Amino acid sequence: MARRAHLVVLLFWVLSLVATPVRSADAVLRVGVLQFGTVSWELEVMQKAGLLAREGVRLEIVPLAVNDAANVAFQGNAVDVIVNDWIWVSRQRTEGRAYTFVPYSLAVGGVMVRPDAGVRSFADLRGRRLGIAGGALGKSWLLLRAFARRTVGEDAATFVRTDFAAPPLLNQLALAGDMPAVLNYWHYNARLQAAGLREMLSMQDILAGLGVHSELPMVGWVFREDWARANPAAIGGFLRASTAAKKLMQESDEIWTTLRPTMRAEDQATFEALKAGYRAGIPRGSVAAAEAVAQQVFSILAAEGGRELVGSAQALEPGTFWRMGEGR
């Protein structure tokens, strides 16, 4: 019996050698990600489904505590890739840092309201508390301010009673009934939706109110141009694996079952809401189309956030969006 078991193990070992190409040296790519962040879901799919191995890329995940830590690690060359938004990349380029951006997700956030709050439209929030994640220069908040000017003729900063707080605290306050509405990040909103709150304004609704009717990937993979040129196999393989992972996550329910422990979904409703929210955020358009929309939205954000947000730039900096095969 022991001899038979030994032979079975040996057979599987031989088959694995035949099935798996032996690479002399995989391209190594260091990714800085927030601990327990949603980006880790896609990275896990890339690894579990063998998408990175197929591309000859070996991933080194560097867990980070907060967004600022990711930026510091990236600027200090401790990681090769992080997730950030194109506004940040554009500003870095105006300051002489040749960073670049590939769209990762459309999902940013929206306004969630309690079903018992008597809030049917944004106008019903006049004079009431609105919890806001991301701070005074948060992109969702700046776009909501512009939306308010366009739809109700008043800056949202004076239209509602603003309460800036951390995303988990905002959810606690909303669920406890202390706030009728919150503007939070999409995965926190998914948890609120599973708990019975309603999305009153999605980011797509806000953008449409501002005359923007095409999809806008706000966040993406960020890396250095010079590093990408020096490591084409690493960045090319990583981005192809990312695209393949998104396709798998869009089409397969089974892959989400394997992700469930990582997602920390408390119940089935939360699990389904997180899955649906992630899928809804998968970009469908081209990088060129995303760049064109970003150029349009840049002027809106610059008008609201000013130099504190965009620096001295008057428009989206050329090269902010990475175009593979186009010389940059």
Quick: pLDDT tens for 232-264: 999 999 999 999 999 999 999 999 999 999 999
Residue 246 and residue 175 share a domain: no
Average pLDDT score over residue span 12-22: 34
Residue 97 and residue 123 share a domain: no
Residue 202's contacts (CB-CB under 8 Å, 6 or more residues apart) are 110
Q: Is the pLDDT of residue 67 over 70?
A: yes
Q: Note the pLDDT of residue 3.
A: 40
Q: Is the pLDDT of residue 17 over 90?
A: no
Q: Note the pLDDT of residue 14.
A: 31
Average pLDDT score over residue span 169-190: 97
**Counted domains in the chain:** 2
Average pLDDT score over residue span 50-75: 92
| Chosen domain end from 171, 193, 209 | 209
**More confident call, 175 vs 4:** 175
Q: Model confidence at 154, in pLDDT bands (50, 70, 90)?
A: very high
98-108: pLDDT as tens digits: 999 999 999 88
Scan for tokens 């980006």, then name that residue: 39
What's the CATH number where 299 sits?
3.40.190.10
Q: Is the pLDDT of residue 39 over 50?
A: yes
CA distance 72 to 153: 39
Any idea how long the chain is? 328
Q: Note the pLDDT of residue 323.
A: 81
Residue 201 and residue 113 share a domain: yes
Q: Which residue range forms the structural domain that includes residue 223?
A: 25-106+217-310
Q: Note the pLDDT of residue 82.
A: 96
CA distance 57 to 223: 16
Give the CB-side neighbour count of residue 191, counting CA atoms within 13 A.
17
Supply the pTM of this predicted model. 0.88
Task: Give backbone dihedrals phi and psi of 272, rounded to 5 degrees, phi first.
Answer: -65, -40
User: Would residue 283 count as lying in a domain?
Assistant: yes
